Homo-oligomer: A and B are copies of this chain.
Amino acid sequence: MKKESKDNTPFYLGIDGGGSKCKAVIVDVSGKVLGTGISGPANPLHGYEQAINSIVDSAKQALLDAALPIQKISQLVAGVGLAGVNLPSLFNMMAQWQHPFANMYLTTDLHIACLGAHNGNDGAIVIAGTGSCGYSRIKGSTNIVGAHGFPQGDKGSGAWLGLQAVKRVLLSLDGFEQTSQMNNIMLQQLNCRNALELVEAVAKQPASFFARQAFVVFQAARNKDPLALDIIRDGAHYISNVTRRLLLDQPPAISLIGGLASKLTDWLDQDVRLSLRPPEQLPEIGAVIYAKQKTKNKK
């Protein structure tokens, strides 16, 4: 279903859709970035309608930013990397979407992040953002480590760090753990006077809420708070182990990416830290690279 009109050079749209936000970039054939956009959550696990709305919204914003007409959306060749679509049922659901683009090449957020980090080349990435996991792609074969989701997994991620903080603050306020600097930081941040109000403030909150509480742990750790140090060390230990696991695949390069990458790096084991290389491109550019690779393969 190629909707692309023949008289126009196509633009590429790169989408990086995660549990907290969706980022879009529009790039011309030469690779020049024309515009970017950002919108809400785009993990279809948390809602199909929300995911497709976020993708379209961010694309429209990027068109606006690029000073291109909205109608141009039907000429975009889209590379779309989404969280959640590693689950086959969600991949199939999204693949059947009657999208407004000329073409859509769908893959996981992990794949585009890896393509971005290594500028289209083979390699591995460890992601520590709202969630966490490891991913490598070498000679066409893929390895995923972790990606267990919230609240049952994603150790070392923002949501995991925030959940541990909430957990231990509640126990501490009840006197089952020692007093922690996290207690007051968190109560203040969430505008709560006591444990009961904190219970109410955190009830039924999504992973993104807990990820926003991760800063509490880092702030308290800076002042050597033992509970906060314990949480960070536990999380960083897991991230170190995930990295080591990926290194067994002997990737040409490995990068730590995601919102917590810079904060976590110092806490990783030295051998792991030394193995890491800064990412070359953003995940949304990785999505463009993916679309270009797929278009090329089609020819």
Q: Is A87 an interface residue (CB 8 A)?
A: yes
Cβ–Cβ < 8 Å partners of A45 in chain B:
203-204
Given A176-B238, A238-B176, A241-B176, A149–B196 Cβ distance below 8 Å?
no
CB distance from A59 to the nearest CB of B (A): 26
CB distance from A22 to the nearest CB of B (A): 19
Closest to A173 in B: B148
Given A86-B196, A196-B86, A203–B238 Cβ distance below 8 Å?
no
A170 near B145: Cβ-Cβ < 8 Å:
no
Cβ–Cβ < 8 Å partners of A86 in chain B:
196
Q: Is A167 an interface residue (CB 8 A)?
A: yes
Q: Is A200 an interface residue (CB 8 A)?
A: yes
Cβ–Cβ < 8 Å partners of A46 in chain B:
204
Pick the residue among B145, B148, B202, B203 that contacts A199 (CB under 8 A). Answer: B148
B152 near A163: Cβ-Cβ < 8 Å:
yes
A203 near B170: Cβ-Cβ < 8 Å:
no
Q: Is A147 an interface residue (CB 8 A)?
A: yes
Interface size on A, residues (CB 8 A): 32
Q: Is A249 an interface residue (CB 8 A)?
A: no
A167 near B152: Cβ-Cβ < 8 Å:
yes
A202 to B87, CA, bound (A): 12
Pick the residue among B203, B241, B245 that contacts A149 (CB under 8 A). Answer: B203
In chain A, residues 130-149, which have Cβ atoms closer than 8 Å to a Cβ of chain B? 145-149
CB distance from A23 to the nearest CB of B (A): 23
Q: Is A151 an interface residue (CB 8 A)?
A: yes
Q: Quick one: CB contact mask for A263-294 with B, threshold 8 Å, 1 for yes?
A: 00000000000000000000000000000000
- A contact set with B: CB distance below 8 Å: 45-46, 86-89, 145-149, 151-153, 163, 166-167, 170-171, 174-176, 195-196, 199-200, 202-204, 238, 241, 245
